[in-house]
Amino acid sequence: MGLNSLTIKEASKKLKKGEITSVELTKACLKRIKDVDGKVKALLTVCEDEALNEAEMADKQRKKGKKGDLLGIPYIAKDNIMTKEVRTTAASKILDNYIAPYDATIIKKLKKAGAVLLGKANLDEFAHGASTENSAYGTTHNPWDLTRVPGGSSGGSAAAVASDMCVFALGTDTGGSIRHPASFCGVVGTKPTYGRASRFGLIAMTSSTDVPGPITKTVEDTAIVLKTIAGQDRNDATTPDKAVPDYLGSFKKSLKGQKIGIPREFFSKGLDKNVKETVEEAIEKIKDLGAEIINISLPHTKYGVAVYYIITPSEISSNLARFDGIRYGHSASTTSPSTFAKASADKPAPLLPLGLARDRRKERGEKDEVKTLMDVYMKSRGEGFGPEAKRRIMLGTYALSAGYFDAYYLQAQKVRTIIIEEFDEVLSQVDCILTPTTSTIAFKIGEQIDDPLAMYLEDIFVTGASLAGLPAISIPAGFAKGMPVGLQLIGQRFGEQTIFNVANTYEQATSWHTKKPKL
Amino acid sequence: MKLSNKEIKHIANLARLELTEKELDKYGKQLSDVLGYIDQLQGVDTIGVEPTAQVTGLTNVFNEDKVCAWDKNEVSEALKQAPDIEKNQVKVKRVLE
């Protein structure tokens, strides 16, 4: 095994001792990317030169006395996170040539800590999906079985960590997008409490649930990354002034006295038999480790997906309105001044809705011209967005439109309140909640792509924590039919320490996280 | 909930999406399916329940009202992304007829 398969903790120990350099570590990751990414297709951009420069700098800084667990550690960021002077596409054609003019706050923090950015990872376009099949740049393949999806939407990040292309990765989670692929790829994925880590510089999807978080090889590594990226940011008004604990230094060794709630609704119909057995075995193990298992009920979580698919598309329809072909991204607008003058001189044709205008122009044998501002909007967006982004924009537009707002959006917001209250009530009685992360193992590529509803139901176990803003982690809990199975722990708001403790104790007592896919 | 072709066209127009007839047909069916699933929310008793828009509990978060200089390179990088620029400003087609 090469240096690229090291964890943050192992690599930083070797760096500190001077046994390896960041340049060596970075080269090992870049080599691994070259060797396996042709098959896995986890990355959209590789910043080879920049990464080697950053690694060299990290080595120099270490010589000058700089310290830190992430100094010289190579990582990969999901491509909906802005990285200065690096192409940032959100896996959409509408941002095909977009170069981020500034760094996201979490990227700034990692830069300051000396971490080395290797490249940008594939995702479902604008993080809409649970398989990466909605990427405009092709599907990422699951490293455990290349005919299967890696989950999503942070599928590229999870697949890159699972196949040791990097030491850790960043993802974003809106309704399961870190936990779902972490489960499918057999790695550790954390969705922090809403507001724990800044959203500034994330390409916004659902502003009321978006949160960035780490995807790592171990729970300890997750603790290290979260400590670095968390905290208040004046550029994100939803980050509270709350101290970030030293998670790693506060790990407990035992689960004695820990009360863990098991919601019976999550183990009923719809859960794959093999996944169920695997997670039940994990629960037995956690019991053996000293935790008290308590049966709980979350009756309204069954409405989670329905609530999520009103609130999310509604916020998407608003957030994605910024992609209009005017300031950045794909534009149908013509740039030559002469065309502009001509278009203004002509009396613009009355606007026909949608493709109709285009279809009729084609029927008449006319050239598809972009004359009005409306044409720029309609065409730029019609050409730039992929199918799932279009579906969600339309669903949200519908839910927010006159006559439907109360029945859909307002009702969803109210059911959201009930779901939150139910979680809070249960979490006042137990330390955390344990569920399967997903209802099945990774599915085959192409299996669900034409059935958006089936794809939405992938999020059944993960949307609840997102709607309620609670922290949740997915950790490897075993295998079913040779594919990884994840278990999810949900904690109280800002109670990351509790779920990390349970996750770490379980991880230390098992060896699932040490298993590697053969590539 | 079955959306008519006319409704789908209206929604796409509101969303400023130019779609082909084929797309309209496909998305119309898919959106009707999804709305059919979402309709189960109508059965939840929400009388007296307040809607939730955000979960932080934070209200009125203010920043100091002061102008911060923006890095010149970042400004030029940001402007470079626009398809049409004149005198350092983003140019658009005429808004008023």
Looking at residue A113, which CATH number applies to its domain? 3.90.1300.10
State the pLDDT at residue A337.
Answer: 34
B-proximal residues of A, 272-301, CB under 8 Å: 300
Report in angstroms the alpha-carbon separations of A288 from A70, A258, A284, A503, B18: 34, 12, 6, 14, 59
Asked if A315 and B53 touch (Cβ cutoff 8 Å), the reply is no
Report in angstroms the alpha-carbon separations of A74 from A21, A68, A179, A200, A505: 11, 13, 21, 22, 26
Return the amino acid letter for A259. Answer: K
- Angle A212-A217-A219 (CA atoms, 0-180°, nearest 5)? 70
Among the listed residues B32, B27, B17, the one whose alpha carbon sits nearest the alpha carbon of residue A356: B17
Q: Which residues pair with A142 in a beta bridge?
A: A145
Write out the residue range of the structural domain in which residue A130 sits.
Answer: 3-253
State the pLDDT at residue A101.
Answer: 93
Residue A368 in tokens? 């598809």
Tens digits of pLDDT across chain A (519 residues): 799 999 999 999 999 999 999 999 999 999 999 999 999 999 999 999 999 999 999 999 999 999 999 999 999 999 999 999 999 999 999 999 899 999 999 999 999 999 999 999 999 999 999 999 999 999 999 999 999 999 999 999 999 999 999 999 999 999 999 999 999 999 999 999 999 999 999 999 999 999 999 999 999 999 999 999 999 999 999 999 999 999 999 998 889 999 999 999 999 878 999 999 999 999 999 999 999 999 999 999 999 999 999 999 999 999 999 999 999 999 998 543 333 333 333 433 334 444 444 555 556 555 567 889 999 999 999 999 999 999 999 999 999 998 999 999 999 999 999 999 999 999 999 999 999 999 999 999 999 988 888 888 889 999 999 999 999 999 999 999 999 999 999 999 999 999 999 999 999 999 999 999 999
Establish if A94 belongs to a structural domain: yes
Return the amino acid letter for A391. Answer: R
State the pLDDT at residue A338.
Answer: 32
Report in angstroms the alpha-carbon separations of A136 from A89, A186, A371, A406: 9, 25, 28, 34
State the pLDDT at residue A340.
Answer: 32
Asked if A354 and B17 touch (Cβ cutoff 8 Å), the reply is yes
State the pLDDT at residue A368.
Answer: 65
Establish if A152 belongs to a structural domain: yes
Q: Which CATH number do you get for residue B36? A: 1.10.20.60
Q: Mind telling me the catalytic residues of A?
A: 78, 153, 177
Establish if B15 belongs to a structural domain: yes
ipTM over 0.90 threshold: yes
Q: Measure the CA–CA gap between A203 and A276, rounded to whole angstroms.
A: 35
Asked if A480 and A486 touch (Cβ cutoff 8 Å), the reply is no
Return the amino acid letter for A31. Answer: K
B58 → closest Cβ in A240, A303, A343: A240
Establish if A149 belongs to a structural domain: yes
B30 → closest Cβ in A84, A328, A391: A391
The whole-angstrom distance between B46's CA and the closest CA on chain A is 6
A413 → closest Cβ in B14, B53, B95: B53
Asked if A206 and B67 touch (Cβ cutoff 8 Å), the reply is no
State the pLDDT at residue A343.
Answer: 34
| A270 in contact with chain B, both atoms CB, cutoff 8 A | no
Q: How many domains does chain A have?
A: 1
Q: Measure the CA–CA gap between A296 and A262, rounded to whole angstroms.
A: 6
Is A453 close to B50, i.e. CB distance below 8 A?
A: no
Q: How many helices (H) and strands (E) does chain A have?
A: 17, 11
Establish if A164 belongs to a structural domain: yes
H-type helices in A96-153, by residue range?
A: 105-113
B7-31 pLDDT, tens digit per residue, is 999 999 999 999 999 999 999 999 9
Is B18 close to A379, i.e. CB distance below 8 A?
A: yes
Establish if B53 belongs to a structural domain: no
Q: How many domains does chain B have?
A: 1
Establish if A333 belongs to a structural domain: no
Phi, psi at A261, each rounded to 5°: -90, 135
Establish if A297 belongs to a structural domain: no
Establish if B27 belongs to a structural domain: yes
Cβ atoms within 10 Å, residue A413: 20
Q: Measure the CA–CA gap between B65 and A301, rounded to whole angstroms.
A: 42
Write out the residue range of the structural domain in which residue B19 sits.
Answer: 5-43
State the pLDDT at residue A349.
Answer: 36
Q: Measure the CA–CA gap between B63 and A233, rounded to whole angstroms.
A: 11
Establish if A106 belongs to a structural domain: yes
Within 8 A of A371 by CB-CB distance, chain B residues are 93
Establish if A127 belongs to a structural domain: yes
Asked if A379 and B18 touch (Cβ cutoff 8 Å), the reply is yes
Among the listed residues A141, A145, A153, the one whose alpha carbon sits nearest the alpha carbon of residue A181: A153
Is A327 close to B37, i.e. CB distance below 8 A?
A: no
The verdict on whether omega for the bond into residue A177 sits within 30 degrees of 0, i.e. cis, is no
